Structure 1
Amino acid sequence: MPNSSMVNEFLLTRFSDVWEYRVIHTMLFLLMYLGTMMGNILIVTVTTCDKKLHTPMYFFLRNLSVLDMCYISVTVPKGCVIFLFDNRMISMAGCAAQVFFVYQCACAEGLFLTIMAYDRYVAICQPLHYPVIMNPRVCVQMTLTSALSSGVFAGLHTGSTFRLSFCQSNVVRQFFCEVPPLLKLSCSGTLSNEILNFLSAVLIAGGCFAFITISYIHIFSTVLKFPTRRERGKAFSTCVPHILVVTIFVSSIAAVYMKPTSQSSAIQDKITSVFYSIVTPFLNPIIYSLRNKQIKEALKRISNKKALCSKMIG
């Protein structure tokens, strides 16, 4: 950090400087933020309180919910502040922290979605071996490995970015600190950083997407052999939304990180970044709670217990 501070702070940018649009953007972001927090809190509460949901699938879902709450909290609150107020400033340390947590959460998101796809593959394609393969110890190990490897990955990118000298401008063309717009501000050579970004997108995002795709090919080939149309429809309705979220998440990351910084468009990258930093955490609780029959039933059981307790107290 000492060798990279001709610029000591950065200015983040809005989608628009028109006050009416800024208010609309703030309202949209806040609604998505509140929806994400409420949905994920619901999932964490239900999967923790209901013993019938103490299974590997819901263990991973609970971890994904906690991750999504952290992920969207890294960008949206600060984004709403710069939309509404004139204070668009963020310190060098604050910017580095935001880059670190965005990378860590994004990497962990991809790994968790991959693990959940693998969990569904084992449950559907190898049901007899499921309790052995997905035992509690393995589930915890996979979760910890994903979290720790994401931290190392984030540290590598944060360190390689903030070793650069920033002296051209301090205006980041993004509503949160992100590596591609930061590289545009550097007066150091950024080729190695761009190569690192490209390789990371290919290996992490591309690798996760390839693994998930292969898992679902096996799942669909097994589902098509189910005897009744109802069973096939139920399996497809569970899997297709997961694939949709993964596709949005991976394709939006690839659109930003797999092209040279010189060819990136500020407004296009802003819009694209919304999909992997805000839309994906927003969609996950909708898909995994509102469309999940077991969670709905568990919620009813918890509500009935609370109602019964209230009557007994009364």
Structure 2
Amino acid sequence: MKDLARFSGKEAQNAAPARSAQVQFVTISGEEAGQRIDNFLLRVCKGVPKSHIYRVLRSGEVRVNKGRIDQTYRLAEGDMVRIPPVRMAEKSATAVPGAEFKIIFEDSHLLIIDKPAGVAVHGGSGVSYGVIEQLRAARPDAKFLELVHRLDRETSGVLLLAKKRSALTNLHEQIRDGEPDKRYLVLVHGDWKNARQHVKLPLHRYSTPDGERRVRVQADGMASHTIFNLRQRYEDFALLEAELKTGRTHQIRVHLASSGFAIAGDDKYGDFALNRELQKAQGERAPLKRMFLHAHQITFLHPETGQQMTSHAPLPPECERFLNSLVKVA
């Protein structure tokens, strides 16, 4: 009988055929160590339905060092993983179009990009693919590439990705300790008064009947804290810088809406009649066809050197044009 092929994790990703008909044995590298077996299989077995991955895990067909494991097992360097024959979906991972995005910074540990508005950071919830899938498709030789944090699909700006597992672990520890300083630029409708304002409202996540993820202020929700600094007043609008002290889903959007200030262009929590007006150019005012929320700056410690880093993403042209068409108020 022909010997079973043995692959490294990277080789297994590149070698997996449209329909895998033989057992694979994968030796876990240092960069792959620490991740859960289910997440590892979802990446290695590209094109295999998620339901099938969990089925072969439950059945015991996946083995680590010849023993059975469950989906929560975390891989260690040197582990030998047995991957059974799996049937790929008819649409393979090659259907994801590779794409690069504007790079703010890159080294052997980090990739920092300027994400455009309208692009999801990852697939799911009706989105076939996002930034992470497109970057992996564009960089097939990358050994490791993972999101460090997330941005809403409608939000543009600074997005961190890790190119090493050690970098991902370090940055996640920084996030848990509240060390990174994240700043957003946001335009609100209304007469904003305070130069600096703290908003502390507990947030609760829920799903609408059609499955859409939403957030509302609720007494038993997660503690949430945003600081808003006034940058510039305009007639009917104010440009704010938001400092995130916690990182809840839709935090800035819900904190502002619950405080009586809708974000220009916000199609979930905003003023829908206003949004329709903003999409049309009126007089000298430029149109605004997106939500005006932009992650413009993040400060953190480099995961390898420990040196403080600050990365910036300038306001997108469509936001700049809209601001320039407004009348400033002293």
Pick the TM interval, shorter chain: under 0.3
Point out the structure with the larger strand share. Answer: 2
Q: TM-score, normalised by structure 2?
A: 0.22
The answer to which structure, 1 or 2, has the higher relative contact order (CA under 8 A, 6+ apart) is: 1
